[in-house]
Amino acid sequence: MSKAMLIDITECLGCGVCAEACKKENHLPGEVGKELNYANYTILEEIEDDVYFRNLCRHCVDPTCASVCPVSALHKTPEGPVVYDFDLCIGCRYCMIACPFGIPKYEWHKPIPRVRKCIMCYDTRVKKGLPTACAEACQNEGGGATYFGERDELLKMAHKRIKENPDKYHPFVYGEKEVGGTGVMFLIPKDVPLKKVAQMGLRMDLPNKPLPELTWNVLNKIPVIVPVWATFLTGMWWLNNRKIEVTENDGVKPEKKSESD
């Protein structure tokens, strides 16, 4: 089963205990910042007065970053989190180009940099069956906006909330379908226009199909194209060579090949 998080934006107070807990859990340097970067896996952004959007890796069901990584340094674990293996990484940064949410960040200041992003506390918590540090902090000390659990159950809960309070929420769960579904999902308050939310990082122009399908639909043609192309090229070579031989021998194909050098 796949672990996931649901963030009910209406319940977020903007207190920031999530970001602090994240820093502590992942030993990230410095104070809590205002932008996602190598030292901040999650941040709060004010959409409008007292409405906050928490940005972090979405742990996509079919992650674009894992699909583009040439060495599978990023990969989706069976438990749900998308994790990173520094030993495999070559530092090509294709993940940063490809991620539709702009999540992976880089240690630009280091001679040997790492890709940095939220790994859903995989090694320290989720693997052991514990909730993520941010969700725990939010439930215990914060507004209780971040829920951790099974993806299916969180989705059920989200839809129940929408059904019971149709005036409170936009009538969909962000992340249920976007790019094939994500592991971090959002309930968006109805009084905030979607345009504003889209500017913050919940883009509304994403397809419901996983993005990796786009490149896979190209790459899976390779085994089809190679034999066809090879046959054509070899055939052209045979044809053109034969033509020369025939012309050289007054329109007759010579019986024996008497060519050597």
Partner 1 sequence: MNIKNIKITFWRVVAAIILLFGIIATFQRFFYGLGYATHLSDKFPWGLWIGFDVISGVGLAAGGFTITAIVYIFNLKKYHCIVKPTVLTAFMGYVFVGIALLWDLGKYFDIWHPLVYWNHHSPMFELALCVATYTFVLFLEFSSFTLDKFKWFRKPVNFLKGIYILLVILGVLISTLHQSSLGTLYVIVPEKLYPLWYSKLLPVYFFITSIGAGLGMTIVESYLSWRALKHEVPTEILANLARGMVVIQLTFFVAYFEDLLVHNKLHYLFDGTFYSFMWWLEFIMWTLIPTIVVFNRKWISKRAGVFVAGFSYVLGFLLNRLNVSTTAMEYSAKAHYFPSWQEIAVSASFVVICFMIFGFAVKHFDIFEEEHSTN
Q: Which residues bind partner 1 (CB under 8 A)?
A: 36-37, 64, 67-72, 88-94, 96-98, 100, 102, 105-106, 108-114, 203, 205-207, 211-212, 214-216, 218-219, 222, 225-226, 229-230, 233-234, 236-237, 240-241, 243-244, 261
Distance CA 257, CA 142 (A): 86
DSSP codes joined into one string, 137-199? HHHHTS-S-EEEEEHHHHHHHHHHHHHH-TTTEEEEEETSSGGG--SEEEEEETTS-HHHHHH
* Shortest Å distance, C-beta 158 to partner 1: 24
Q: How far is the CB of 241 from partner 1 (least distance, A)?
A: 6
The residue behind tokens 């769960």 is 173
Q: In this complex, which beta carbon is closest to partner 1, that of residue 90 or of residue 130?
A: 90
**Residue ranges of the alpha helices (H) in the chain?**
17-25, 64-68, 94-98, 133-140, 151-164, 194-200, 212-219, 222-248
Integer Cα distance of 5 and 144 in angstroms: 12
Q: How far is the CB of 147 from partner 1 (least distance, A)?
A: 28
39 within 8 A of 29, measured Cβ to Cβ: yes
CA distances to 99, 203, 247 from 179, in Å: 11, 11, 60
CA–chain centroid gap for 202, Å, is 13
Q: Closest approach of Cβ 260 to partner 1, in Å?
A: 9
Give the shortest CB-152-to-partner 1 separation in angstroms. Answer: 26
Nearer to partner 1, 21 or 65 (CB): 65
Minimum Å distance from CB 247 to partner 1? 11
- How many C-beta atoms surround the C-beta of residue 174 within 10 A? 23
Helix (H, G, I), strand (E, B) or coil at 46: strand
Using the minimum distance from each CB to partner 1, give the nearer residue, 93 or 156: 93
Taking the complex as a whole, the smallest distance from the CB of residue 109 to partner 1 amounts, in Å, to: 5
Distance set, CA 180 to CA 60, 206, 208, 225, 229 (Å): 8, 10, 5, 28, 34
